[in-house]
A and B are shown apart, each in its own frame.
Chain A
Amino acid sequence: MRARVVVTLCVVVAVLLAGVPWIASPATIEFGINMLLLAALAQSWNIIGGYTGYPSFGNSVFYGLGSYGTAVAMLSWQLPFGVGLVVGAVIAVVFALLLGRAVLRLRGHYFAICTLGVAEVMTAIVSNLEITGRNQGLVLPLLKGNVLFYELSLALVVVATLVVWWIARSRFGFGLVAIRENEEAAASMGVDTTRYKIFAFAISAAIGAVAGGIHAYWITFIDPVSAFDIGLNVKMIIMAVFGGPGSILGPVVGAFVLSAISEVLSSEISTVAGLFFGIVIVVAVVFMPRGIADLLRRFHTYRWRYFAANVRATRV
């Protein structure tokens, strides 16, 4: 019953969002595209970070590979944009399969640091390849208008969320959660942990790469430093964790809420916006460390004690 209400609500919100470009100003649509792409990225991180429990800093690599894959396919091979997106996604997935085999043996901090290193390496590699335009980057053909990019970004969020919804109620998803909660116990119960982790990484890569491809064609210019920006990966994590990692809607809600807060802050008090944004994050981590999803689930039983319990648990 409650599930049906939530699903109906999601469909209504998606339809309303799809109609936004016909009534909103260009600036609002641009804000919308950024917000939707961040939501898709937070959702992609949710699969490997939230469900599988591997805090990846390599998702900005998938994003960058998607950007460059799409750009190179369009510029060097004269392929249409749609095919370019697929090329970008395939490159990222292959990369995730190969990289995952190696780095998914590491856990926790070691995994995080290793994936962080990969992002740095990718910047260096792309800066030195002829086909990727070295460190000057690539200029894509200009496509006027934002509506196509807005709708594509929205479609990506919907697809990513459907994928996570499927994961959450599938045998595959149970395997991932078992890995997150206790990998050794999962293996002894018959979960093929290596294969599951690599699959999760690859699905995450595909979504991240498509986001990168859409962004590249929209912005029409990419360069190695911004395409493989670690800061973007940090944003994905903050948004996913703020919303509720390992939940179906949490990362999307987190991305929407934080994008909105960030936008309001930077337009109202531009100079100290970063400071206030930081305060919002710190307060969120202290008072609701398991995100909005967990807050909504438990607030009606615990009321204000929910926050007190979290503060106590974090021992501030």
Chain B
Amino acid sequence: MDAVLSVNGLSKRFSGLTAVAHVSFELGRGEILGLIGPNGAGKTTLVNLISGALEPSDGELVFEGRSIGGLPPFRRAHLGIGRTFQIMRPFPGLTVRDNVAVGALFGTGGGERDLAKARAIAHEKLDFVGLARVADRPADALGGPDRKRLELAKALAMNPRLLLLDEVMAGLNLSELEEVIAIIRKVRDGGVSVLVIEHVMKAIRSLSDRLLVLHHGEMIAEGTPEHVLEDPAVVEAYLGKRRE
């Protein structure tokens, strides 16, 4: 497999608490890898380690053949790693369009230098996620589902090669869910590798090529969605042990 991202023995300890413990996996080019696990399993911590928001206590991260451990977040963004935040982080004082333009102005390869071009890219991405109608509104005027799409558009404007999606589907209704799933598929079809954290099981099952399950920071299962979701260890992690 042509690995875009290789994670080898990655650990993160917060003074005594091990949030991520010896996690190793590979993410192939154009693959959608689903990351699931109960609350507090270490999913967001893992994304923070990959994006550079946190430094690992141990282990190695290789992105497109190059070790990225120790690189600050903005350098990783320049290399092509884009992310969304679970707790949405729009730039509230900017319009929706300019929020996305920031992604285009910086992002992969340092981004677009020209403001007008960046705004054009932003508009294209807003169109893509279905937010073009609110492009001129301030970002803090958006409601929950639209903010999720804004997060997605901002990350897409960076023109990433690896997209880390932290719960972009939480709180969406069924039709919104299907729209976002279609968007993520289209992004993947453009050659982008995607790591997606999600609680909505129906979505993650239909979206992911492969699933990875974290529990108490450890990887307890990996494989196709059908295979993983039948795994007794995974069922136990989510529902507890069956009483005899």
Which A residues contact B (CB, under 8 angstroms)?
A: 169-171, 174-175, 177-178, 180-182, 184-193, 246
Are A189 and B154 within 8 A (Cβ)? yes
Contact with A along B98-133 (1 / 0, CB 8 A): 100111011110110101001000000000000000
A186-B93 Cα distance, complex, nearest whole Å: 13
Find the B residue at minimum CB distance from A194: B72
Find the B residue at minimum CB distance from A171: B105
Are A184 and B94 within 8 A (Cβ)? no
Are A188 and B105 within 8 A (Cβ)? no
Q: Which B residues are CB-close (under 8 A) to A174?
A: 98, 101-102, 105, 115, 118
> What size tier do the contact residues of chain B reach?
20 to 34
Are B98 and A181 within 8 A (Cβ)? no
A282-B1 Cα distance, complex, nearest whole Å: 65
With A169-B115, A185-B85, A190-B158 as contacts: A175 and B106 at CB distance below 8 Å:
yes
Question: How near does chain B come to A302, taking the closest CB pair, in angstroms?
Answer: 14
Q: Which A residues are CB-close (under 8 A) to B51?
A: 188
Question: How near does chain B come to A182, taking the closest CB pair, in angstroms?
Answer: 5
Are A184 and B74 within 8 A (Cβ)? no
A262-B103 Cα distance, complex, nearest whole Å: 44
A175-B118 Cα distance, complex, nearest whole Å: 13
Are B77 and A184 within 8 A (Cβ)? no
Question: How near does chain A come to B174, taking the closest CB pair, in angstroms?
Answer: 29
Question: How near does chain A come to B24, taking the closest CB pair, in angstroms?
Answer: 24
A174-B103 Cα distance, complex, nearest whole Å: 10
Task: Identify the interface centre among A170, A175, A190: most chain B CB within 10 Å of its CB.
Answer: A190
Are A181 and B106 within 8 A (Cβ)? no
Name the prevailing secondary structure of the A interface residues: helix
Find the B residue at minimum CB distance from A185: B89
Find the B residue at minimum CB distance from A173: B115
A192-B111 Cα distance, complex, nearest whole Å: 12
Are A189 and B102 within 8 A (Cβ)? yes
Q: Does B92 contact A (CB under 8 A)?
A: yes
Interface residues of B in 116-163 (CB under 8 A from A): 118, 154-155, 158
Are A189 and B93 within 8 A (Cβ)? no
Contact with A along B42-80 (1 / 0, CB 8 A): 000000000111000000000000000000111001100
Question: How near does chain A come to B69, taking the closest CB pair, in angstroms?
Answer: 17
Q: Does B91 contact A (CB under 8 A)?
A: yes
Question: How near does chain B come to A174, taking the closest CB pair, in angstroms?
Answer: 5
A-B contact pairs, 10 of them (CB 8 A): A174-B102, A177-B93, A187-B52, A187-B72, A187-B74, A187-B77, A188-B52, A189-B74, A189-B106, A190-B158
Find the B residue at minimum CB distance from A182: B89
Question: How near does chain A come to B137, taking the closest CB pair, in angstroms?
Answer: 13
With A182-B89, A189-B106, A189-B158 as contacts: A177 and B74 at CB distance below 8 Å:
no
Question: How near does chain B come to A148, taking the closest CB pair, in angstroms?
Answer: 38
Question: How near does chain B come to A296, taking the closest CB pair, in angstroms?
Answer: 17
Are B83 and A177 within 8 A (Cβ)? no
A205-B102 Cα distance, complex, nearest whole Å: 26
A169-B98 Cα distance, complex, nearest whole Å: 11
A57-B113 Cα distance, complex, nearest whole Å: 32
Are A193 and B94 within 8 A (Cβ)? no
Q: Which B residues are CB-close (under 8 A) to A177?
A: 91, 93-94
A184-B91 Cα distance, complex, nearest whole Å: 11
Are A184 and B106 within 8 A (Cβ)? no
With A171-B113, A174-B98 as contacts: A188 and B73 at CB distance below 8 Å:
yes
Q: Which A residues are CB-close (under 8 A) to B78?
A: 190
A91-B110 Cα distance, complex, nearest whole Å: 31
Are B93 and A187 within 8 A (Cβ)? no
Find the A residue at minimum CB distance from B154: A189
Task: Identify the interface centre among A177, A181, A185: most chain B CB within 10 Å of its CB.
Answer: A185
Q: Which B residues are CB-close (under 8 A) to A187?
A: 52-53, 72-74, 77
Q: Which B residues are CB-close (under 8 A) to A169?
A: 115
Are B102 and A186 within 8 A (Cβ)? yes
